[in-house]
Structure 1
Amino acid sequence: MSMSVLEALTPSTAMQCFTPNGCSLLLRVRASITLHERLRGLETCITSLDTQETQCQSVWVARASHRQQAGQQLQVHFGCFEVSVAQRLYVTLRTIPHFCGVQLDQSHLVEAGQLSYWVDRRRKAILVQVPRASGSPDYFVRLCLKLFTCKDAGAPVLVNASSVSRAVSLPYSQELPCLCLEGWSATPDAVRTQICPFENDTRALEMLWDTVHYHPGSQTLSWEPACPVSGQVSLCWCPGPGDSCHKLQHSSQLAHRRVQYLLVDTQPQLCLKFSTSWGSWVRCPFKQHRFPTPPTSRCTCVTEGGHSSQPVNLHSRPAHFLQPQLTWKLPLPLPSW
């Protein structure tokens, strides 16, 4: 069997909490392999270099899949090993049955200065385990929003070095990609450790596009990013359920700051489209008829020179210059106003 069957071995530190004051450090082991018809399973072992104690776990490959899936890649997640802070480990990965020379190994240090955390979505809190090490000073932890600097999203919490429990619970109001956990020793000019739990979280990304507001008095539609965003915002027109939202010409604005559109009519088909490096999202704030419609409506006209507006009778068909200017090449039916 070739060594190429074992592609990667990735150990990482995690934390498990059963109660706010009862947490333990764990080592997670993940492997990437290429399936082989002679492969029956995998075995990973960790050996403490301080005590020479060894723990092993095995996983098995379903026999029926050997020939059918040979050559396919597979991600394998082993169970967790309980470890302690500053422990030096030797991690190995071997095949079952074992073939001479087909093995991956890696040294791993459970870092004493690394924060471990667990997100409790039900309670909207992040449980933080501050590592304990011999002679370690008091420690501060806080939540902050990573903008140009990390802006406070809660008061810093002091964890005393003499505390029996080094676990704290930090409540948050909203899951955001820029919501970060920051920790530092209570010593002058201490280096700060920063971890952003929701940085690549799909649910947190969705939250960014929900802060759309409409002011009926001034008929202003606005959106302001809660986190730094690189991309564009534009008005778009969605003819019906399941249809693509067609961008209105000359309505694009940069998404890194507050975006607003003046004198916007509350048309259910009028939406906002967000285009970023993460993907595209569409929000239609008037679809649910949450906002009152003025007796004489005004409609945003997006022209090459900027935005202009003209009064429109709600029962009449819009004039030609008031029709939404779409980037769609084919003729589209006029919307009902």
Structure 2
Amino acid sequence: MILLVALLMSSWCLGLSGAAALERIDKCGTRCSKGIRCKTKPHYFFQPPCQNPGEGLNVSIFQNVSLSTVMRCEGRQKCSLHLRIKTALQLAESIRGLSICTVTAGMMSNCEISSFKKASHQLKVEVENDCAEISPSQHVKITVKTVPSYCGITWTGTYKAPDCSNIDLQRNVPECITGRLSYKVIPEKKELRVNVSDMLEDHDYHLRLCKKDFICAGTGAHTLIKKEEPVKSATFSFPQPLPCLCIEGWSAVTDALRVQVCPFKDRMEELWVGINFDPLRETLSWEPACPVTAVVRLCQIRDDGVCVDLPRASQNVSRAKVSFTKVDPHPQLCMKFTTGSQSWTRCPFADSRFQAWELAETKREGHKSVEMSSRITANFSVELCVKPEGSDECKVSETSIIHVEKNKAVGLTLKGKLCNTCIQVKRLHIDFGATVTHCFQDCNKTSPLSLGISRQASKPLRWVVITAGICLSCIIIVTLSLHVMLTVYQKRKQKRDAGYTSEKQTDVAPECVISAFQTQALVPDSPPCWNTEKAILISD
């Protein structure tokens, strides 16, 4: 069974290669039917005007005219193309031969005259000529006339030569030899390793990376492979695997045909990067790195991952930059790219870096509260709604317009039954923005549902006040501690000084110290104590 399949595949491949191959000729010339002697010579002069045909000449004298291409080779990769013209001619006594002329765009007419002498028993002759050299993809106009030329007895036709997509031409005709490119992607290094084979002999070869559009515009990565190099390869670095990034190669000859291979042509997901946001102009933009036919939409992503399209937020793109103005940056606002049957979603605000406002649930005095804080001064639409059980639609019961100052939070207090209750908040006076829905899960059946608004200092301001209070308290405590320590130190120093003075006085005149604490009546009767008054002052 395997052998049979192999035989079938080989025969199929041979059939394809045979269909692609052209007939070879050793030399060109004109050939006539057996029994007819043909003599051909080029004709470079203007032919004389036609003559009126005599009686018996049929206007359909040329029959079964066919045109085809043959190849004449003088060696490997040195083949040329020739146009083969074949026709059957109904002879008459007055016809001595025929003229075959070929004309190509921008070239003069190339004519050959074949004269022949027919055998007496033949009335028809087949003539075949293959000396008209043509180029790949060339359009040729062919005119066949009798010699002498009779008015109205002419055959004209057009022919297009095979182009360089023909495998036989790619291997043998110099104009079509582009070389074959193979590559290996090294993703960890972001490199492309390129090998060249079947390049035009005795010529250098160019390789480069380019971005494909109407033309393949070079990226700056270019190398020249010398014909003397035994290994025809090069390595290129690439910044991003874009679908339009291609490898281009061509022989180092004038007007050489080029070949391109695009390793990342299926990597469409690489295009949906480079989304930019200008917070001053509130403009969200994206520019394609490659030409692509796509539809760009703004959408709001839900918790289940589905991105719901915003109204009137769709643009078609091919090469130009796409911009959406007056955009409210929010983590739920995303861009959806659609090409063909595939879609990709990118959320540029998912990291909350540009988020202008937010909601946070709190609980105050036993009631649920949602606090709104904003980095900018703006107006918001706040809708109170209820979701019936088993339904995704939220029925609005109350709507309020709230003005929020920059960095000043606003509390939305809900009182009453909160079963299946939600609030929907959207910033006003913008063209494209997300509607944020916040729902409550618990139930409070004590009172009817109502919405209250309270304004308070924003969390950042409260933290500043608390931090300042803590720092001030620390300064006061440290100051008091230093004051206490200084007081204790001064008292201890005074005691040390007093004790030092007492010891000194005792050493000099101990009897005088003792007398200093006696009554005044004893002072005059104590002659040795001449310094008693000074001792008393010091002790005081």
TM-score range, shorter chain: 0.5 to 0.7
1:236 match: 299
| Alignment CA distance shift 1:297-1:212 (3 Å) | farther
Of 188, 199, 204 in structure 2, the residue corresponding to residue 138 of structure 1 is 204
1:251 match: 313
Matched, 1:335 2:402: no
Could you tell me whether the CA contact under 8 Å between 1:177 and 1:196 is conserved in 2?
yes
Matched, 1:270 2:333: yes
Letter of the 1:284 counterpart? C
* 2-structure distance, mates of 1:139, 1:210: 35
Q: Find the structure with the greater CA-based Rg.
A: 2
Q: Deviations over 1:82-120 (max 9, x none)?
A: xxxx9xxxxxxxxxxxxxxxxxxxxx9996821111111
Letter of the 1:216 counterpart? P
Matched, 1:154 2:220: yes
Greater CA drift, 139-148 or 208-217: 208-217
TM-score by structure 2 length?
A: 0.36
1:255 shift after superposition: 2.1
1:53-202 equivalences in 2 (<5 Å): 113-131=179-197, 135-200=201-266
Matched, 1:207 2:270: yes
| Alignment CA distance shift 1:187-1:217 (3 Å) | same
| Alignment CA distance shift 1:264-1:128 (3 Å) | same
Matched, 1:261 2:261: no
Letter of the 1:296 counterpart? T
- Aligned to 1:206, the other structure's residue is in SS state helix
Runs of 4+ in 1 over 4 A off after TM superposition: 1-6, 108-112, 319-326
Could you tell me whether the CA contact under 8 Å between 1:263 and 1:298 is conserved in 2?
no
1:165 shift after superposition: 2.5
Q: Deviations over 1:178-215 (max 9, x none)?
A: 00000000000000001111112xxx322111221112
* 1-structure distance, mates of 2:300, 2:5: 51
Could you tell me whether the CA contact under 8 Å between 2:326 and 2:431 is conserved in 1?
no
Of 282, 291, 297 in structure 1, the residue corresponding to residue 345 of structure 2 is 282
Of 355, 365, 376 in structure 2, the residue corresponding to residue 295 of structure 1 is 376
| Alignment CA distance shift 1:186-1:312 (3 Å) | farther
| Alignment CA distance shift 1:213-1:131 (3 Å) | same
Could you tell me whether the CA contact under 8 Å between 2:284 and 2:327 is conserved in 1?
yes
Letter of the 2:214 counterpart? F
Alignment identity in percent? 36
1:154 shift after superposition: 2.2
* 1-structure distance, mates of 2:224, 2:215: 21
TM-score by structure 1 length?
A: 0.56
Could you tell me whether the CA contact under 8 Å between 2:211 and 2:246 is conserved in 1?
yes
Could you tell me whether the CA contact under 8 Å between 1:265 and 1:298 is conserved in 2?
no
* 1-structure distance, mates of 2:299, 2:347: 9
1:319 shift after superposition: 7.2
RMSD (Å) for aligned C-alpha atoms: 3.8
1:312 shift after superposition: 6.7
Q: More helix by proportion, 1 or 2?
A: 2
Letter of the 1:154 counterpart? G
Structure 1 unaligned runs (5+)? 11-85, 87-107, 300-310, 327-332
- Aligned to 2:323, the other structure's residue is in SS state strand
Structure 2 unaligned runs (5+)? 11-76, 78-166, 172-176, 357-374, 381-401, 413-424, 439-540
* 2-structure distance, mates of 1:312, 1:165: 73
Letter of the 1:295 counterpart? I
Q: Deviations over 1:9-38 (max 9, x none)?
A: 69xxxxxxxxxxxxxxxxxxxxxxxxxxxx
Equivalenced residue count is: 220
1:15 match: none
* 1-structure distance, mates of 2:196, 2:343: 38
- Aligned to 1:194, the other structure's residue is in SS state strand
